[in-house]
């Protein structure tokens, strides 16, 4: 969805969500039959049972959940639907798991346009089809006007792990290098500039995108992956801090290797933000042994079309801390933010 169309409304229809759509009766059934099934129909969902019964091909799985409350719900580069499925796909991908099954639970505010709902569901379906995941079970609740904000979405996901690597923060080792999958800060800067009414000649778009495709490529190419982390709330700095704390090792990065595009720099300057703390929805870091680092950056760049680069390393020193050599050569501690910076960014 481009910048031109932040809130698509089909003029033929102005049907709105009513409280009864969440009541479990005929209106709920109408919504399932006329809105959900035409978009998501598959052998699991169509049974309309209390849950989906699934035969898994392997026994090792990853399981993840996220709710999405982003405001505004339509933004350049995506919408809450695309965000809600890429977010959970990415959480599974960060476990090295191939995403297969997604649950979709909606909390709708009375009065929400059904046409907007359909557009959001179509966004979800497009990503699902690209990655090969199925929405197999779902739920819809409706809250009174003034007790929500249009639409909140929860997705949970199941992915299967088909390799023997143990991809997690505890697996990183001193000497490992950190590969960043692209420039940072686009998603947060996009949402905030929309909210604050900042306009640009050159349009800025969220980086919102699924990350299973590059992760699958790394696995298929035999990269020894120690840890993966997507750079959502809290941005690059939060992800690095989590790795430093979980592994009880030090993280050292060099600012000159962390790309930030001019538009993001401009928004951050106006709003007093540091791109190192701004949320992304389609960027991740891979921590790999030194000998795999160049290959890792090359594969990610090829698959995503975005330049990937080595930004730093894991070290014995300064356990639990993240240090950064700044552009002017000084070394700075990158601490967690307290968290007030960017509410409702995802």
Restricted to residues 183-212, the positions that interact with a copy of itself (CB under 8 A) are none
The CB density around residue 162, as the number of other CB atoms within 10 Å, is: 13
**Residue whose CB is less far from a copy of itself, 1 or 17:** 17
What backbone torsions phi and psi does residue 309 show, to the nearest 5 degrees?
Answer: -145, 155
From the number of C-beta atoms within 10 Å of its C-beta (0-12, 13-18, 19+), residue 124 rates as buried
165 with 286: CB under 8 angstroms? no
Please tell me whether residue 293 binds a copy of itself under the rule CB under 8 A.
no
Site string for a copy of itself, 158-177 (x = CB under 8 A): xx-x------xxx-------
What backbone torsions phi and psi does residue 154 show, to the nearest 5 degrees?
Answer: -115, 135
Please tell me whether residue 257 binds a copy of itself under the rule CB under 8 A.
no
**Which candidate, 92, 127, 110, 153, places its Cα nearest to that of 19?**
110
Please tell me whether residue 137 binds a copy of itself under the rule CB under 8 A.
yes
Q: At a CB cut-off of 8 Å and minimum separation 6, what does 308 contact?
A: 179, 180, 181, 182, 296, 297, 298, 300, 301
Please tell me whether residue 148 binds a copy of itself under the rule CB under 8 A.
yes
Which one among 3, 6, 37, 67 touches a copy of itself, defined by CB under 8 A? 67
Residues 35-54 that bind a copy of itself (CB under 8 A): 47-54
- Residues binding a copy of itself: what is the number (CB under 8 A)? 88
**Residue whose CB is less far from a copy of itself, 265 or 344:** 344
Stretch that binds a copy of itself, among 76-84, 85-93, 250-258, 311-319 (CB under 8 A): 85-93
Helical (H) or strand (E) element with 304: helix 290-304
Which one among 118, 226, 233, 283 touches a copy of itself, defined by CB under 8 A? 233
Number of residues assigned to the chain: 346
222 vs 167, 187, 219, 288, CA distance in Å? 14, 31, 5, 12
Helical (H) or strand (E) element with 303: helix 290-304
Residues 89-118 that bind a copy of itself (CB under 8 A): 90-92, 94-95, 97, 101, 103-107
Please tell me whether residue 339 binds a copy of itself under the rule CB under 8 A.
yes
**Residue whose CB is less far from a copy of itself, 177 or 278:** 278
Please tell me whether residue 330 binds a copy of itself under the rule CB under 8 A.
no
Please tell me whether residue 8 binds a copy of itself under the rule CB under 8 A.
no
Kindly state the smallest distance separating residue 111's Cβ from a copy of itself, in Å: 13
**Residue whose CB is less far from a copy of itself, 33 or 290:** 33
Which one among 120, 142, 184, 293 touches a copy of itself, defined by CB under 8 A? 142
Q: Which segments of 156-254 does DSSP mark as H helices, in order?
A: 186-196, 212-220, 235-247
Which one among 29, 41, 42, 257 touches a copy of itself, defined by CB under 8 A? 29
Please tell me whether residue 229 binds a copy of itself under the rule CB under 8 A.
yes
**Which candidate, 55, 68, 54, 62, places its Cα nearest to that of 157?**
62
Kindly state the smallest distance separating residue 328's Cβ from a copy of itself, in Å: 26
């Amino acid at each position: 969805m481009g910048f031109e169309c932040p809130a698509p409304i089909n003029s033929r229809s102005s049907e709105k969500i009513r409280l009864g759509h969440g009541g479990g009766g005929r209106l709920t059934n109408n919504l399932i039959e006329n809105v959900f099934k035409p978009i998501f129909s598959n052998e699991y969902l169509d049974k309309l049972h209390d849950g989906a019964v699934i035969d898994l091909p392997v026994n090792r799985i990853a399981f993840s959940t996220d709710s999405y409350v982003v405001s505004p719900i339509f933004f350049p580069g995506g919408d809450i639907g695309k965000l809600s499925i890429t977010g959970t796909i990415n959480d599974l991908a960060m476990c090295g798991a191939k995403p297969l099954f997604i649950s979709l639970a909606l909390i709708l505010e009375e009065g929400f346009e059904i046409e907007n709902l359909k557009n959001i569901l179509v966004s979800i379906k497009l990503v699902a089809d690209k990655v090969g995941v199925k929405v197999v079970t779902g739920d819809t609740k409706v809250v009174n006007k003034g007790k929500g904000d249009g639409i909140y979405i929860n997705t949970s996901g199941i992915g299967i792990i088909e390799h023997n690597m143990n991809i997690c923060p505890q697996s990183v080792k001193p000497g490992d290098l950190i590969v960043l999958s692209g420039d940072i800060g686009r998603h947060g800067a996009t949402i905030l500039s929309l909210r604050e009414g900042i306009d640009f000649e050159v349009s800025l778009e969220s980086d919102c995108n699924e990350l299973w495709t590059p992760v699958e490529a790394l696995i298929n190419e035999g990269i020894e992956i120690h840890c993966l982390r997507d750079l959502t709330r809290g941005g690059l700095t939060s992800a690095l801090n989590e790795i430093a704390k979980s592994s009880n090792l030090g993280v050292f990065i060099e600012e000159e290797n962390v790309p930030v595009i001019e538009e993001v720099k401009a928004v951050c300057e106006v709003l007093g933000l540091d791109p190192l703390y701004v949320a992304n929805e389609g960027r991740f870091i891979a921590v790999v042994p030194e000998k795999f680092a160049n290959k890792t950056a090359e594969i990610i760049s090829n698959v995503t079309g975005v330049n990937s680069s080595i930004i730093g390393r894991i070290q014995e020193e300064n356990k639990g801390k993240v240090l950064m050599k700044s552009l002017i050569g000084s070394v700075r501690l990158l601490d967690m933010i307290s968290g007030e910076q960017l509410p409702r960014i995802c």
